[in-house]
Chain A
């Protein structure tokens, strides 16, 4: 193989080779963009849960509170018993679990959404630690409160002040901007889990609808192995019953309803079609090139080039062509991915996961988590596309070996 011959052939017979290079590069770019899009939507679908450190969130639906008075559970989040949590923790694929208690509190003159969280557990709303804007995060079980910045502004509360929930006064230790975090399990006031459990246990409205023990909860968060998530979802539903809402990256992906998000099969099938078309284009070019260059191949054989020498030369040409196509395709794909990175994805958060009473201003309106589409061109996809491109070159050359060997050196005299 002689590279200067390869390079001259490609650079001096531009028309023939550029058609194949552009054709294959578009194929490579499409393949890469489809793969990146597919992965980007999956990553986007993972974000709402990722921001609370979980892969799965679990709630159980129940009856509507009989009276909107004192502490009540939203109908989308009734009691999950601590024995059930223990069973969840033992399920295969579960790495860690977190819990929370979400309540609507109807005091005399105001409505407050209260979330009890375990500040030491990184799985669940403990992640809000990263969104404290003033003061500090909750520590231990001491009675204290964290207030959402918007609520704090509306109610003229600041760090060092007090907030009263059902007659119990809590010192405000910090303000948190939950709007920057996940839209899941947001509240006006955040209390230590133990405090919230105590309030729920003491609430006759809670007990009337959904008996609650001191260690129970109504939100469970699970950190799990990615590949175990589908099986876990099924097992969780079996354990907790049909009224259970299980949110996972897959369920968010379905919410997105995007064509690319529908299935891996779609991306794989489209990529396959694209590559088959690109392959046929390269094959046609190389086969045509062999036909056109029959006399040249005959000359080489006349001059003592063996079939192996000729095949090596043409294989090098084909691989160089496909390598250039791969580079160009990756360049195009990078540009498209860069532009896609500016696209925003609105991920709908089901009402059940962020329940606000319908009678409140804005209550019941659809809630979205807006994220920039994480369209990143990874090394693995780049390497895959480049390998595939070279494979196309290799296979087409191998398929053309028969044609090359059939060309006789006497061909050159026949055309004199």
Chain B
């Protein structure tokens, strides 16, 4: 068996005196689609931020794409995320003053590359999301489904090894949510993308290869 793309050992995360994540150990194989489910407040978003290198665990080890993220500096982690990770958020998190294609190209802005190349890559991804007609539109003028498709295109712009999705359909109606899930599914099936998706919707979680359940900061069987 190959080395897992993500592995966490006895990860704990405490805020003040509150232990939000209690000794979680988990592994994700390359090309695997895993969903993390649990009730609101059970610690799944905190676990996602620790596993995705957005936050550091209070204790424990996290290895992502072969990098030990606990000991890495903030700048190292930023560069690591830029090269390896895609994020999809519940509230899309698009920059309101940038157009659709600029939002998609946002992770590439710090990179030294010709402007044309940036735009071409963004336009190509927006084309795959059927948003060719929205290239120069601001997020404020788009529907929720369009915004989330822009966010997915943004997550893919740096050709990531793994995508972390936090409640990607949480702010969408069921029909649009279904469409977004189909995109994620096709990314996994057709492109072998590793995905860790946090959701509280048990029905959606069934799309994944494997479902992890979280309760009171711990993974349960």
Stretch in contact with the other chain, from B22-30, B80-88, B177-185: B80-88
Question: Interface size of B by Cβ–Cβ distance < 8 Å?
Answer: 34
Task: Find the residue from A302, A409, A410 having the highest chain B CB count within 10 A.
Answer: A302
Q: Is the CB of B102 within 8 A of A295?
A: no
Q: Is the CB of A410 within 8 A of B55?
A: yes
Q: Is the CB of A302 within 8 A of B54?
A: yes
A236 to B1, CA, bound (A): 101
B residues 60-84 near A (Cβ < 8 Å) are: 74-75, 78-83
A residues 1-25 near B (Cβ < 8 Å) are: 2, 4-5, 8-9, 12-13
Q: Is the CB of B75 within 8 A of A306?
A: yes
Q: Is the CB of B83 within 8 A of A304?
A: yes
A residues 285-311 near B (Cβ < 8 Å) are: 295-296, 299-309
CB of A370 within 8 Å of the partner chain: no
**Closest residue of A by beta carbon distance from B87:** A302
CB of A416 within 8 Å of the partner chain: yes
A5 to B98, CA, bound (A): 7
With A2-B109, A303-B154, A410-B54 as contacts: A13 and B97 at CB distance below 8 Å: yes
B 159-183 to A, binary, CB cutoff 8 A, 1 in contact else 0: 0000000110010000000000000
A302 to B163, CA, bound (A): 12
Q: Is the CB of B75 within 8 A of A413?
A: no
With A303-B81, A304-B110, A416-B91 as contacts: A8 and B98 at CB distance below 8 Å: yes
B94 to chain A, nearest CB (A): 8
Interfacial chain A residues near B170, Cβ < 8 Å? 416
Chain A interface size, under 10 / 10 to 19 / 20 to 34 / 35 or more:
20 to 34
CB of B158 within 8 Å of the partner chain: yes
Q: Is the CB of A309 within 8 A of B110?
A: yes
Q: Which one, B49, B82, B85, contacts A413 given CB within 8 A?
A: B49
Interfacial chain A residues near B55, Cβ < 8 Å? 408-410
With A410-B54, A416-B89 as contacts: A306 and B97 at CB distance below 8 Å: no
With A410-B54, A413-B48, A416-B167 as contacts: A307 and B79 at CB distance below 8 Å: no
Interfacial chain B residues near A246, Cβ < 8 Å? none
B 121-164 to A, binary, CB cutoff 8 A, 1 in contact else 0: 00000000000000000100000000000000010001000000
CB of A388 within 8 Å of the partner chain: no
Interfacial chain B residues near A416, Cβ < 8 Å? 45, 89-91, 166-167, 170
Interfacial chain B residues near A296, Cβ < 8 Å? 95
CB of A75 within 8 Å of the partner chain: no
With A413-B45, A413-B54, A416-B167 as contacts: A9 and B97 at CB distance below 8 Å: yes
CB of B93 within 8 Å of the partner chain: yes
Main secondary structure of the interface of A (DSSP, over half): helix
Interfacial chain A residues near B167, Cβ < 8 Å? 416
Interfacial chain A residues near B166, Cβ < 8 Å? 413, 416
A309 to B107, CA, bound (A): 11
CB of A412 within 8 Å of the partner chain: yes
CB of B37 within 8 Å of the partner chain: no
Task: Find the residue from A9, A308, A405, A413 having the highest chain B CB count within 10 A.
Answer: A413
With A413-B54, A413-B166 as contacts: A304 and B81 at CB distance below 8 Å: yes
Q: Is the CB of A8 within 8 A of B78?
A: no
A306 to B76, CA, bound (A): 8
B44 to chain A, nearest CB (A): 10
CB of B106 within 8 Å of the partner chain: yes
Q: Which one, A300, A304, A305, A413, contacts B89 given CB within 8 A?
A: A413
A12 to B95, CA, bound (A): 12
B127 to chain A, nearest CB (A): 21
A residues 394-416 near B (Cβ < 8 Å) are: 405, 408-410, 412-416
**Closest residue of A by beta carbon distance from B109:** A2
With A296-B95, A308-B75, A416-B89 as contacts: A410 and B49 at CB distance below 8 Å: yes
Q: Which one, B54, B79, B83, B95, contacts A306 given CB within 8 A?
A: B79
A12 to chain B, nearest CB (A): 4
Interfacial chain B residues near A304, Cβ < 8 Å? 78-83, 85, 107, 110, 158
A-B CB contact pairs (8 Å), 11 listed: A8-B98, A303-B87, A303-B106, A304-B79, A304-B81, A304-B158, A305-B78, A306-B74, A307-B75, A410-B54, A416-B166
Give the A-binding residues of B (Cβ under 8 A). 45, 48-49, 54-55, 74-75, 78-83, 85, 87, 89-91, 93, 95-98, 102, 106-107, 109-110, 138, 154, 158, 166-167, 170
Give the B-binding residues of A (Cβ under 8 A). 2, 4-5, 8-9, 12-13, 295-296, 299-309, 405, 408-410, 412-416
